[in-house]
Amino acid sequence: MKRKSPHEDALARAKQYCKPGLARVNLDEIGFRETNRGGLGVSSRLIQWLAIDIKDKMTQRFGYEYVDLIKIPKESLQNVLQVNRDRCEADPLMPRFSSKIKYVCITKTHFVHAHKLAKDGTHTVYNRGEDPIRWRDADTEGAQIIEHGPLCAMYSRRMFKDIEAADAVADEDNWFNRHQMVSAPPSMMGWVHSPSQSTNESDSE
């Protein structure tokens, strides 16, 4: 029997952490993972680039499908809040900080934060004061995300410290995006746009 690679082992663990079903989670409850993108966390310029793209092409259902989220353990919550607060308050291209964060993105981090910019309702592209970050009236899924949040797959807080498992899910998502978004510039690889469904989310673990 062929031995699984470390990546395959990590993906198998991630599946055990994943809860059944999908749920919409309010944008105010979602933050970024400090270890995302090799410790970068999030790129405000990529968020702005995506906001421009969504303004132009709208939120495409065939793209994002769903966002993968990890519930933050209580003992890590204050650190996550501080990291997100520091980045949002230090970088004017970031969305407004939310003290209601309960989850961090494994996938679609920049997609989520582009919608947070639109939800804030006060931003313009690259803060030039000329082009408001606001979605088209016809962008029904974008409106759903702003009102109720993106559709999400939920992972238990036990995965928060299993960085290899979280990174394996992120890597799989990036591989899919690289093959789906052949016309996108290199900086766009690693995000996608999806369906509408509203469910009540819960995570007791």
Q: How many CA atoms lie within 13 A of 29 on its CB side?
A: 20
Tokens of 123: 């931003």
CA distance 27 to 100: 9
The burial class, CB within 10 Å (0-12 / 13-18 / 19+), for 77 is middle
Answer for the pair 70, 155: CB distance below 8 angstroms, yes or no.
yes
- Provide the 3-class DSSP secondary structure of residue 180: helix
Q: What is the pLDDT of residue 20?
A: 96
Quote the strand ranges of 6-141, DSSP E. Answer: 18-24, 30-31, 67-71, 103-105
Q: What is the pLDDT of residue 182?
A: 40
Q: What is the pLDDT of residue 3?
A: 64
**In the 8-state DSSP scheme, what is residue 97?**
P
Q: Helix count (H) and strand count (E) of the chain? A: 8, 5
Q: How many CA atoms lie within 13 A of 86 on its CB side?
A: 9
Between CA 68 and CA 192, with CA 19 as vertex, the angle to 5 degrees is: 20
CA distance 171 to 64: 15
Is the torsion defined by CA of 31, 145, 174, 172 positive or negative?
Answer: positive
Q: What is the pLDDT of residue 187?
A: 44
Q: Smallest Cα–Cα separation from 121: which of 107, 110, 140, 135? A: 135
Tokens of 130: 């000329």
103: phi then psi, degrees, rounded to nearest 5 = -135, 155
CA distance 201 to 2: 38
Strand pairing class (103-105; 18-24): unpaired
Q: What is the pLDDT of residue 60?
A: 84
Q: What is the pLDDT of residue 68?
A: 97
Q: What is the pLDDT along the chain (205 residues), one digit of tens a residue?
A: 466 788 899 999 999 999 999 999 999 999 999 988 778 899 999 999 999 999 999 998 777 899 999 999 999 999 999 999 999 999 999 999 999 999 999 999 999 999 999 999 999 999 999 999 999 999 999 999 999 999 999 999 999 999 999 999 998 876 445 434 444 444 444 333 332 233 333 333 4
